[in-house]
Each structure stands twice: as structure tokens, then as C-alpha cells.
């Protein structure tokens, strides 16, 4: 069992969800996380975003926070690695964008997915929703809306899903190679062959290959689609949702943090490092 806090002579890599974890669920504010971010920088701890957010959204957030670390986007569909971040590049890239190597795990792009959702019918995603609808549902506007729509492999649904309708949609998507994952507010449709956990495992091996000793791997999440990520790391943390409850997560070693979103992120990092 890993002892906390992690000592300064032990390498640490931290994976984190974004909305409802590093970022406030409603305001998208990061101020409550910024003290923790400074602690991570002071200890040279890589912070790997692992979110349903797009490449455009995550690379923009990194610029805002003064970071340039690898990140996992669209629920494990692909990873982005800054050029030169690792001394050895043993992976093969699909392409590069904005100085990042892109490694793809998903089997299909969002154009094919859009056609599939049209065939199923009754499902409205980010790409077909009007600006007014998407803004009302997410609180985003302007360039932030554009970044949220730039989905390469997945589609996030505004349509509510529950009960028999949810099961019917899951079965139809499964038949054509897709799956549903439930985030903090919305469902995301993605390639059935990917999830956050598989991408995190790939990234963990990449860090091991480039570190003198195997790091301790920790992760912070808040919702059901974080479970695959939390299951594969050494030290998993679950922060509270806005209603002060925790998502139903059954992982034996999970550490539940009694704080919401970014405050929970801050408390977790202090528990890890102080």
C-alpha cells in the first residue's frame, strides 16, 4: 500500500479529470485549484489531464495555466504529447498539431459517429445543437463553444437518457462499435474500444520507460466515466459532486475527499504532497 504523503525522493505522476474536478462544475473557474497547481510545479509532478474535453479545449486550458504536459482527450480516444516532453519517442503518431504528437486509440472519427446518431434518431449532440441550445446547456459562449464542438472521435449528447430509452440507445450503439459513458452532466458516445483507463495505462507505461524508477501514479475524478482511470492507478481519489455526494464508485482502495470539485482537487494534492 502506498504511504501518503509521497516523499520528495519518489517520482509521482497525477492524472485528473477536468469538469467538476480541476475546474468548477458550473463556472469553469480554476482559482480554487491554483494553489495545488503551484505545489505540483514545485515538486515537478506531471499533471496529465484526462477528460471528455476536446484537444482544442485542453490545449487552450494548458496555455491559460502556463502548462505544457501530455493530456488524454475525448474520454481516452487519443493522447497529445508535447514535442520533446519525453527524451525517447517509442510511440508512433497519427499526426502532429500545435506542437503536440497525437496518438489515436479510437476506431472512428466524429463524422461517422454523427451519421450513426442520425440513424438512431432523437439524439442531439454538440455538433448539431444551435449555439443558443449549447450555451444554455453548458454555460459556454463565443470561442469556448467553438472549442467544445471540435470533436474528432466522440459526441457529447444534450438529449436526456434514462430507463428503457437509455438501454435501447446503448444496445443500438454497441451493435455498431460505440459505447456510452456518463460524465458529470452529459453522456458521451465514443468508440467501444476506448476508455480513460486504457489511455492511462498506455501513458503509465510511457512514463515508466522514461523514468529511472517507476513513479507512483495517482488520479482524481468525480464521475462514473472516471472509474476506468481510477481503477488502474496506485492511488485513486474521488472528490464530491456539487450536491456534496460522491458518485457511486466501487473501488476497494478509493480515497473519498470531502470537498467539492476544485476544492477537492486542492485538498487531494495537499494530501499527496504535504
pLDDT in tens, the chain (274 residues): 789 999 999 999 999 999 999 999 888 899 999 999 999 999 999 999 999 999 999 999 999 999 999 999 999 999 999 999 998 788 888 789 999 999 999 976 666 787 788 777 678 888 888 899 999 988 889 999 999 999 999 998 888 888 888 888 888 888 888 888 887 778 889 998 999 999 999 999 999 999 989 999 999 999 988 999 999 999 999 999 999 999 998 898 999 999 999 999 999 999 999 8
Q: Regarding beta strands 100-104 and 47-50, do their DSSP bridges make them parallel or antiparallel, or are they unpaired?
A: unpaired
- The number of CA neighbours under 13 Å toward the Cβ of 159 is 19
| Residue 168 confidence (pLDDT) | 87
- Which class does domain 110-191 fall in? alpha beta
Class of domain 12-105+194-273 as given by CATH: alpha beta
Distance CA 52, CA 54 (A): 7
Rounded Cα distance between 175 and 109, Å, is 17
CB 14 within 8 A of CB 48: yes
Phi, psi (deg, nearest 5) at residue 252: -50, -40
CA-to-CA distance for 196 and 48, rounded, in angstroms?
12
Stated pTM of the model: 0.93
pLDDT of residue 110: 65
Distance set, CA 257 to CA 14, 111, 222, 239, 254 (Å): 16, 39, 10, 5, 10
Residues of each domain in the chain carrying CATH 3.40.50.1000: 12-105+194-273
* Residues forming CATH 3.30.980.20 domain(s) in the chain: 110-191
Distance CA 4, CA 210 (A): 24
Amino acid at each position: 500500500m502506498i504511504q501518503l504523503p509521497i516523499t520528495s525522493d519518489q517520482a509521482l505522476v497525477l492524472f485528473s479529470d477536468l469538469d467538476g474536478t480541476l475546474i468548477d462544475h458550473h463556472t469553469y473557474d480554476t482559482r480554487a485549484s491554483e494553489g495545488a497547481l503551484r505545489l505540483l510545479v514545485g515538486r515537478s509532478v506531471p499533471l496529465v489531464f484526462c477528460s471528455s474535453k476536446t484537444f482544442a479545449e485542453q490545449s487552450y486550458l494548458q496555455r491559460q495555466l502556463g502548462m505544457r504536459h501530455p493530456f488524454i482527450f475525448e474520454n481516452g480516444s487519443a493522447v497529445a504529447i508535447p514535442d520533446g516532453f519525453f527524451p525517447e519517442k517509442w510511440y508512433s503518431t497519427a499526426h502532429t498539431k500545435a506542437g503536440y504528437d497525437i496518438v489515436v486509440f479510437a476506431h472512428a472519427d466524429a463524422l461517422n459517429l454523427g451519421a450513426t446518431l442520425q440513424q438512431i434518431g432523437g439524439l442531439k449532440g454538440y455538433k448539431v445543437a444551435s449555439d443558443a441550445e449549447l450555451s444554455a446547456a453548458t454555460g459556454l459562449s463565443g470561442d469556448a463553444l467553438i472549442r467544445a464542438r471540435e470533436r474528432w472521435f466522440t459526441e457529447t449528447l444534450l438529449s436526456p437518457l434514462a430507463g428503457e430509452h437509455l438501454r435501447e440507445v446503448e444496445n443500438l450503439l454497441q451493435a455498431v462499435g460505440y459505447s456510452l459513458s456518463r460524465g458529470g452532466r452529459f453522456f458521451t458516445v465514443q468508440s467501444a474500444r476506448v476508455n480513460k483507463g486504457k489511455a492511462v495505462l498506455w501513458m503509465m507505461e510511457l512514463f515508466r520507460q522514461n523514468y529511472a524508477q517507476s513513479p507512483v501514479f495517482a488520479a482524481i475524478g468525480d464521475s462514473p466515466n472516471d472509474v476506468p482511470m481510477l481503477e488502474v492507478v496506485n492511488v485513486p481519489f474521488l472528490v464530491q459532486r456539487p450536491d456534496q455526494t460522491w458518485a457511486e464508485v466501487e473501488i476497494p482502495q478509493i480515497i473519498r475527499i470531502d470537498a467539492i470539485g476544485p476544492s477537492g482537487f486542492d485538498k487531494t494534492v495537499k494530501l499527496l504532497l504535504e
